[in-house]
Structure 1
Amino acid sequence: MKLTRRDFLKFGGATLVAVAGGVVLRAADQGVFSVGKGIAYEPWRNWRDAATATERIVAAGILASNPHNSQPWIFRITDAVIDLFADPERQIGVIDPFLREMYIGLGCAVENMMLAAQAEGFAATLQLMPDAADQTHVAHIELVPSSPLLSDLYAAIPDRHTDRGAYDMAHPVATETLEEIEALTTEPDIRLFWYKEAAARAQFSRIALESTEALIADEQQSKDSHAWWRQDWDQLQETADGITLDTQALGPITPIAKIVPDLSRQQNDAAFVKNVRETMLPTASAFGILAVKDSSDNTQRLNCGRAWEQIHLWGTTQGIAMQPLNQMCERVDREIQLGSEPEIGNAVRALLNDDSWGAIMPFRLGYPTNKVNLSPRRGLGKVIV
């Protein structure tokens, strides 16, 4: 059959409409028009709305920083007591073989709850690792009525987010600001190491990049990390956890990335290394490492998490962006687990240059260049038992 010019235009127009319609449907299905919306994001907005004070305190806790957004916590509450437990089912595999990151994340939740307890009008008594026979029992908090204390750090809880994007290289973080951050680390078993000068930043960056490349080259670490990737919008809303495209600081290309077919694990790994090499490391104003006396001690890990949450919240009040860079410690742990040559382990020890401390929480900071989107969170109904 011969097509006339009019027939061809009609057919072409219909095809374009169909394609465009399909793109719009795909965009809607993948949440392009719903960034930060849905049940997975409600905890950021309703965290002060729960019926009881202890529920509101827990609601602050679940907004804390945590590894791979795995949210490895379970809470038991009464009117005057909160018990926090680690959830072994939410461990992130050989990315964290000795649970270092899990306990740091749980410490972050403890810090948020202590701030919220004060704001709710309680004096909170905290006992970390209260049961030596149960290493999943992370914290026991007893609440006694007192005068409310609404701190700046408490007010910053819903605004604290991990910023994986480029930082403003024309606006360095002042040395005086770094000193103020360092003053927040008051526990005797915690020390903050800074890497601000060019040579120190270069040394940190080299180790961080080598660690990232080694991590994705490790098949099991790559798989365990990718298991927490949430690109499907319906799955994201259901699980309310994991790492999402919206939080990758991709800027204007984020909608395109959400519309195109899902990337393979290998493609995601390659994109991650590229982002570390070209964005995260070169644009950082400074790097830091939180270190402890005994990196295997869960109480010290929890206190490190409390310190990190304080630092990140304080940075939020000052308009400073921050992001954990855990790859080097993840490789140190993996080398120990495998019994392999401690290449990254030796490099990290040289970076600290003090064998009396063990690195457990590396991070970067700087001033942001873009808005950061929300990450999903499981609501109270999924975490209180």
Structure 2
Amino acid sequence: MTESASIKQLLESAILAPSGDNCQPWHFAVTGARIRLYNLPEKDTSVYNHRQSASLVAHGAALENLTIAASTQGLRPKFSLFPEPAEPNLVADINLEPMSGLPDPLYAFLEGRATNRKRYDRSYQLSGEERRQLLSCACEGVDGVVRIFEDPREKQTLARAISINDRMVFENRGLHDFLYDHIRWDNEEALRTRDGLDFQTLELSAMDAVAFRAFRNWALLRLATPFGVTRIIGKTAETLALSSSALGAVVIVGNDPAAYVNAGRLFQRVWLEATRLGLSFQPTAGIAFLIGQVASGAGGAFSPEQAALLKRCGEEVGALVGDPASSAFLLFRIGRSAPPSARSLRIPVEVVTG
């Protein structure tokens, strides 16, 4: 395999990484065996992406994919995060070096990893081996831990936090508009853009699908809000979360840009391990970004009532995962269910390199 073909194969694996609303905020500049990973701030302008935290998580997942794929070629990426302070959008400078050792077994699951928003089998409990494998996930050089919550009271606390995120999407104009701008309503639109969220991936019931389409109209949604519709949406999300065998968190020490990249690396590894185990997985990280934003004192995107709700939510979640003002954390739900109805697409690697 030529060097250029080898690099292309690695980048094809890297871009399989997840990103918020499938925005794919990356660009790769390749020179020989050197790869520079750039963040594209214009790709994700959502309220979630305060200080580019959501995009940095996506970059971390892409770096982990690249690391896993490189192992199958006898290579190890040596990367420096944010190597040039004057160029904050340069996330990583990557050099490929020879390595000995076996290929990472998670490579076989890069393409199979997918978000599954279906209701999970509430009766299924994680086996001891599944729990052990998930908790043992680690990335070289990353100071972080994986937490699994199966106690009903702890699950209730996290499920309530997840419900607040979904409620916020329909009460905060910025969150609402960004989501609807990134829904791809049919296969034709999904294939044309190759980004955003395929409507089918939302796994909505027929009745919920009708309501979701109707609430694209902000004025109509405002008329319905006094009747408790956003609270009903939140309660539905809470019930869905509680159908999971467990709720989980990846927690990284620190909350600087590198911490969010590292959170993305470890989160991706947990997700791939869940895929290897045949488990269904849904990231529920949105609420973590909102909590972190308010905890940092930057709550200008929210009404006073919304900011107060997020502050209380952060205190409850923080009691389980750590202070959101001094750590980067991401939540997920895990269990068993039918396969997802659809998968999000990717922009071709030729478009995101240069």
Q: TM-score range by the shorter chain?
A: 0.7 to 0.9
What residue number does 1:326 align with? 285
Q: CA deviation at 1:294?
A: 2.0
Amino acid at match of 1:338: G
What residue number does 1:235 align with? 189
Residue 318 (structure 2) aligned to one of 352, 374, 377: 352
Residue 314 (structure 1) aligned to one of 269, 273, 297: 273
Q: Decide whether the 8 Å contact of 2:4 with 2:32 is kept in 1.
A: no
User: Once the two structures are aligned, what percentage of the paired residues are identical?
Assistant: 22
Are 1:283 and 2:243 counterparts? yes
Q: 1:342/1:175 Cα in 2 relative to 1: closer, same or farther (>3 Å)?
A: farther
Distance 1:261 1:133 in 2: 43
Q: Decide whether the 8 Å contact of 2:252 with 2:327 is kept in 1.
A: yes
Q: Decide whether the 8 Å contact of 1:332 with 1:342 is kept in 2.
A: no
Q: Decide whether the 8 Å contact of 1:168 with 1:283 is kept in 2.
A: yes
Q: Decide whether the 8 Å contact of 2:186 with 2:199 is kept in 1.
A: no
What residue number does 2:34 align with? 81
Residue 379 (structure 1) aligned to one of 345, 348, 354: 348
TM-score (norm 2): 0.84
Are 1:225 and 2:179 counterparts? yes
Q: Decide whether the 8 Å contact of 1:231 with 1:262 is kept in 2.
A: no
Q: CA deviation at 1:51?
A: 6.4
Distance 2:67 2:341 in 1: 25
- Indicate the SS of the match to 1:56: helix
Distance 1:161 1:193 in 2: 21
Q: 1:180/1:283 Cα in 2 relative to 1: closer, same or farther (>3 Å)?
A: same
Q: CA deviation at 1:308?
A: 0.7
Distance 1:200 1:261 in 2: 30
Q: Decide whether the 8 Å contact of 1:287 with 1:363 is kept in 2.
A: yes
Q: Which aligned pairs between 1:2-17 and structure 2 lie closer than 5 A?
A: none
Are 1:108 and 2:61 counterparts? yes
What residue number does 1:207 align with? 161
Q: CA deviation at 1:287?
A: 0.9
Q: CA deviation at 1:67?
A: 1.0
Q: CA deviation at 1:189?
A: 3.0
What residue number does 2:216 align with? 265
Q: Decide whether the 8 Å contact of 1:152 with 1:317 is kept in 2.
A: no
Q: How many residues align structurally?
A: 333
Residue 368 (structure 1) aligned to one of 332, 337, 341: 337
What per-residue deviation string (whole Å, max 9, x for no partner) do you get for residues 292-321 of structure 1? 2222x1111111111011111111110011
Q: 1:171/1:118 Cα in 2 relative to 1: closer, same or farther (>3 Å)?
A: same
- Indicate the SS of the match to 1:376: coil
Q: Decide whether the 8 Å contact of 1:103 with 1:305 is kept in 2.
A: yes
Q: 1:104/1:83 Cα in 2 relative to 1: closer, same or farther (>3 Å)?
A: same
Q: CA deviation at 1:275?
A: 4.8
Distance 1:196 1:293 in 2: 23
- Higher deviation after alignment, 175-184 or 269-278: 269-278
What residue number does 1:10 align with? none
Q: Decide whether the 8 Å contact of 1:95 with 1:225 is kept in 2.
A: no
Q: CA deviation at 1:322?
A: 0.9
Distance 1:302 1:261 in 2: 32
What per-residue deviation string (whole Å, max 9, x for no partner) do you get for residues 21-46 of structure 1? xxxxxxxxxxxxxxxxxxxxxxxxxx
Structure 1 residues not aligned, in runs of 5+: 1-47
Q: Decide whether the 8 Å contact of 2:165 with 2:234 is kept in 1.
A: no
Distance 1:363 1:381 in 2: 31
Structure 2 residues not aligned, in runs of 5+: 222-228
Amino acid at match of 1:177: E
Q: 1:315/1:372 Cα in 2 relative to 1: closer, same or farther (>3 Å)?
A: farther
Q: CA deviation at 1:374?
A: 2.1
Point out the structure with max Rg over C-alpha. Answer: 1
Are 1:172 and 2:125 counterparts? yes
Q: CA deviation at 1:190?
A: 1.8
Q: Decide whether the 8 Å contact of 2:145 with 2:252 is kept in 1.
A: yes
Q: Decide whether the 8 Å contact of 1:76 with 1:82 is kept in 2.
A: yes
Amino acid at match of 2:27: I
Q: CA deviation at 1:342?
A: 3.9
Q: CA deviation at 1:375?
A: 1.1
What per-residue deviation string (whole Å, max 9, x for no partner) do you get for residues 70-119 of structure 1? 11100111331111110111113213222211100110000000111111
Residue 51 (structure 2) aligned to one of 88, 98, 111: 98
TM-score (norm 1): 0.77
Amino acid at match of 1:327: G
Amino acid at match of 1:379: P
Q: Decide whether the 8 Å contact of 1:70 with 1:92 is kept in 2.
A: no
Q: CA deviation at 1:334?
A: 5.1
